[in-house]
């Protein structure tokens, strides 16, 4: 069933405008190097980003110094007017300075836009490449990976981690450039105005750094907890929405809500502590900054009174001090952004480094498969130390109808998964037409099989498209013919829009039995050489089952068929019945032969027809 579900998580930002502390990377150096390798194709664009960001910052830094000239012109004009020794304020010169400032800030804004545009393009392409790599990787992973990894975790890496990487990387690079340029440029400008006031301004830096580092250190564990509990809440919600029918059926609403509230409370506690600690950084820095302004104003005023400094220079210096403390705080945030960027990339690379399916050594190509299948001492376990198929051997001739029966957990479905090479064997071999299945490409091997399983594989789309999924190039007439053979045509015509009716994402707008019929129609359309039917009629009524059985009997003529069934009455006419118990074949033969043995199969068959007194 298609599940188009995802969880979006925006970056949490503190009042400083940067990213908050996130989870730390386990292997910072290795992940950082690998991330740089993904950025290397965009080295030229990043170089221009650096240049444009630096130029934009430099033009911004020059603004207060030029504005100081306008301030001095106004003060000198006022003093001259009051004392009667001057010609008053020179508005022409002030106007020229204002025009100069407008041009300066305009150029700065232009370069800032250019670097933002370039950087957005780089991060978007990196995200695109990473998502492509993840999607390609998913198709190469063995089925066993998805048995031990939740769907939510895979979705989180595709959506959350790539988004976090993209957004934090974008801010990290541009803020690092502008912060470094600002610190150097502002420091030089402050020195050019007054080295004495510069020393006063520098004294406040250690205090600011100690404050920022202390707050970040305390808040980091709460931000980490916030992301962890956010994942738990999202995972719980996804589970509950996906299984809401089961929850309703078993009256588990209260238990579900109780668990949700527990996870939500944990998220709330971590979130408010994290946001509170991040929120007090700005007021604390503002308080320290205001103390600094008071000191500078007092010292600057005494210097202005002594004639060693102009009022315009004091005004410019105060502006530079404000511009000096902000990038220092940003640098602290950048360290957290780098950690978060690398941590997100580490989770992505961890997924990309997962062990893939065994490499293909294709020795057989374009074989016209007839359907001879031989299992030779097959040994398999989902875990290396837990073998469930111990020694399975069977010889199936082309065109035979083979039934695999046995109690739940005997290994019946596992055998057909091994036949299609969804898992690698721990021992033995499987041959198709005398060729080891390892010698085929997986695509060619699986293309020779048609499957109808207990789980209905239907997707959000029209009924016509769902049936056509068995053979994409099939015409509408061929799809309808397959639907008629599977007894689908009649009920489809009673639905709104007939074959063009759209199945919803959970395929809940048709019944379970109708879903089963659609998957059977798809298998009929595929017209494969070998058929695998795993409880294919388990969800249909007895009358429909009889009709489908006739259609399936016609379909199976001349084809090798593997039928897994619990209702043994449906496989009485099988050419060969394999009785499995605890991963081994305990009996094999036709229905009549096995009934004569009066052993495992006979007991299994008779138990389905015992009368309950």
Is the pLDDT reported for residue 173 higher than 70?
yes
In SS3 terms, 9-41 reads as CCCCECCCCCECCCCCCCCHHHHHHHHHHHHHH
Which pLDDT belongs to residue 551? 67
> What's the chain's average pLDDT?
78
pLDDT at 332: 64
Closest CA to 421 of 439, 402, 442: 442
What pLDDT shows up at residue 364? Answer: 74
Residue 315, pLDDT score: 78
Length of the chain: 613
- The per-residue pLDDT for range 209-253, each reduced to its tens digit, is 787 777 777 777 777 777 677 767 877 787 787 777 788 888 888
Burial of 574-591, coded b for 16+ CB within 10 Å and e otherwise, reads bebbbbbbebebebbeeb
User: Both tokens of residue 399?
Assistant: 């065109």
For residue 10, pLDDT over 60 is answered with: no
- Check pLDDT > 60 for residue 292: yes
Per-residue CA distances from 548 to 455, 576, 577 (Å): 17, 21, 21
- Look-up of token digits 């995802």: 6
Q: How confident is the model at residue 27 (pLDDT cuts 50, 70, 90)?
A: low
Phi, psi of 373 (to 5 degrees): -130, 130
Q: What distance, in Å, lies between the first and last C-alpha atoms of the chain?
A: 42
Query: Would you give the distance in Å from CA 317 to the centre of its chain?
Result: 48
Sheet holding 530-534, edge to edge: 449-452, 530-534, 560-564, 401-405, 576-581, 584-589
Q: Strands, DSSP E only, in 341-447? A: 373-380, 389-396, 401-405, 427-432, 435-436
Please say whether the dihedral angle defined by the alpha carbons of residues 325, 329, 331 and 334, taken in this order, is positive or negative.
negative
Which pLDDT value is given to residue 8?
36
For residues 442-448, average pLDDT: 81
| pLDDT classification of 124: cutoffs 50, 70, 90 | confident
Query: CA 537 to CA 523: how far, in whole Å?
Result: 13
Quick check: 303 pLDDT over 80? yes
* pLDDT tens digits, one per residue of 525-548: 888 888 888 776 666 677 767 766
- Higher-confidence residue: 568 or 49? 49
What average pLDDT does range 308-335 have in this prediction?
Answer: 76
pLDDT for 612: 41
Least confident of 77-91, 388-402, 462-476: 77-91
| Tally of CB atoms within 10 A around 550 | 12
Predicted local confidence at residue 471, as pLDDT: 83
With a cut of 70, say whether residue 26 has pLDDT above it.
Answer: no
Question: How far is Cα 599 from Cα 594, in angstroms, rounded to an integer?
Answer: 7
Query: Using 50, 70 and 90 to split pLDDT, how confident is the model at 110?
Result: very high
Please name the residue that has the structure tokens 């664009």.
Answer: 45
pLDDT, position 537: 67
- C-alpha 94/C-alpha 75 separation (Å) is 12
Supply the pLDDT for residue 539: 62
Query: For residue 14, what pLDDT is reported?
Result: 35
Give the mean model confidence (pLDDT) for residues 256-260.
86
pLDDT for 459: 81
pTM: 0.64
Per-residue pLDDT reduced to its tens digit, 340-351: 777 778 888 888
595/571 Cα distance (integer angstroms): 13
C-alpha distances (whole Å) from 514 to each of 441, 456, 482, 487, 509 are 34, 10, 14, 10, 10
Q: Which residue has the tokens 């971590």?
A: 270
Q: pLDDT exceeding 70 applies to what percent of the chain?
A: 88
* Secondary-structure percent of the chain, ordered helix, strand, coil, rounded to 5: 65, 10, 25
- pLDDT tens, position by position, 542-596: 776 776 677 677 667 778 888 887 777 677 778 888 888 887 788 888 888 888 8
Q: Give residue 354's pLDDT.
A: 80
Residue 443 pLDDT > 70: yes
Using an 8 Å Cβ cutoff, are 426 and 381 in contact? yes
Residue 153 has pLDDT above 70, yes or no: yes
Confidence check: pLDDT of 419 > 70: yes
Confidence of residue 24 (pLDDT cuts 50, 70, 90): low
């Amino acid at each position: 069933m298609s599940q188009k579900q995802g969880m979006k998580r925006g970056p949490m930002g503190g009042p400083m405008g940067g990213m908050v502390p996130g989870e730390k990377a386990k292997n910072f150096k290795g992940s950082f190097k690998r991330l740089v390798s993904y950025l290397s194709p965009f080295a030229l664009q990043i170089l221009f980003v650096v240049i444009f960001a630096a130029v934009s910052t430099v033009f911004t830094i020059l603004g207060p110094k030029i504005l100081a000239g306008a301030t001095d012109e106004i003060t000198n004009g006022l003093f001259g007017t009051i004392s009667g020794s001057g010609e008053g304020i020179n508005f022409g010169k002030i106007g020229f300075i204002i025009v100069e400032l407008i041009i300066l800030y305009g150029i700065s804004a232009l370069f800032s836009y250019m670097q933002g545009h370039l950087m957005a393009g780089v991060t978007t392409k990196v995200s695109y490449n990473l998502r492509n790599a993840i999607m390609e990787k998913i198709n190469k992973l063995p089925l066993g990976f998805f048995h031990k990894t939740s769907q939510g975790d895979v979705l989180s890496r595709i959506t959350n981690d790539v988004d976090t990487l993209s957004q934090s990387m974008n801010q990290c690079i541009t803020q690092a450039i502008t912060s470094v340029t600002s610190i150097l440029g502002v420091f030089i400008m402050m020195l050019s105005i007054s080295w004495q006031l510069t020393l006063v301004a520098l004294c406040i830096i250690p205090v600011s750094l100690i404050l920022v580092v202390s707050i970040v250190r305390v808040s980091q564990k709460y931000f980490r907890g916030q992301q962890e509990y956010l994942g738990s809440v999202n995972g719980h919600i996804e589970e509950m929405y996906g299984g809401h029918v089961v929850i309703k059926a078993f009256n588990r609403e209260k238990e579900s809500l109780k668990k949700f509230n527990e996870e939500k409370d944990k998220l709330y506690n971590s979130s408010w502590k994290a946001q509170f600690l991040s929120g007090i950084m700005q007021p604390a820095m503002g308080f320290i900054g205001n103390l600094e302004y008071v000191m500078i104003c007092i010292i600057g005023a005494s210097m202005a009174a002594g004639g060693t400094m102009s009022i315009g220079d004091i005004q410019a210096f105060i502006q530079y001090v404000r511009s000096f403390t902000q990038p220092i705080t940003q640098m602290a945030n950048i360290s957290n952004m780098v950690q978060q960027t690398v941590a997100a990339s580490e989770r992505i690379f961890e997924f990309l480094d997962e062990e893939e399916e065994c490499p293909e050594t294709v020795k057989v190509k374009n074989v016209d498969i007839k359907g001879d299948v031989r299992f030779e001492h097959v040994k398999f376990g989902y875990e290396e130390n837990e073998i469930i198929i111990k020694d399975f051997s069977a010889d199936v001739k082309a065109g035979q109808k083979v039934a695999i029966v046995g109690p739940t957990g005997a290994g019946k479905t596992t055998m057909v998964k091994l036949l299609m090479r969804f898992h690698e064997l721990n021992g033995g071999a499987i041959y198709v037409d005398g060729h080891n299945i390892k010698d085929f490409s997986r695509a060619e091997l699986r293309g020779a099989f048609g499957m109808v399983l207990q789980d209905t594989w239907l997707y959000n789309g029209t009924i016509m498209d769902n049936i056509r999924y068995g053979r994409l190039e099939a015409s509408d007439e061929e799809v309808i013919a397959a639907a008629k053979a599977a007894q689908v045509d009649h009920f489809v015509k009673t639905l709104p829009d007939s074959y063009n009716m759209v199945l919803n994402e959970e395929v809940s707008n048709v019944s379970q039995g109708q879903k089963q019929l659609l998957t059977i129609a798809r298998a009929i359309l595929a017209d494969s050489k070998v058929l695998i039917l795993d409880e294919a009629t388990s969800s249909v009524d007895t009358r429909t089952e009889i009709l489908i059985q006739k259609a399936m009997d016609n379909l199976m003529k001349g084809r090798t068929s593997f039928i897994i069934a619990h209702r043994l009455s449906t496989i009485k006419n099988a050419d060969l019945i394999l009785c499995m118990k605890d991963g081994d074949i305990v009996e094999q033969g036709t229905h009549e032969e096995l009934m004569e043995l009066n052993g495992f199969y006979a007991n299994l068959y008779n138990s389905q027809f015992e009368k309950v007194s």
